[in-house]
Amino acid sequence: MPKPAAPQNHVQLRENAEGRLKGGTAPIYEGTPGAEALAMLHKLASTPASASDALKLLHELQVHQVELDLQREEMERSRQELNDDLERYARLYAFAPVGYFSVDANDKIIEANIAGAQLLGVERDAVCGLRIDACLTATSRPLLLDLLQRRRDGGSRETCVVYAEADENRLRPLQVAAISAPDDQSLFVVFLDTV
Predicted pLDDT at 33: 58
Q: Please tell me the predicted confidence (pLDDT) of residue 84.
A: 95
**Which is nearest to 69 in space by CA: 131, 24, 20?**
20
Residues 124, 125, 131: CA angle, nearest 5 degrees: 75
- What is the pLDDT, as a whole number, of residue 7? 54
Task: Quick: pLDDT tens for 42-67.
Answer: 666 777 777 777 777 777 877 878 88
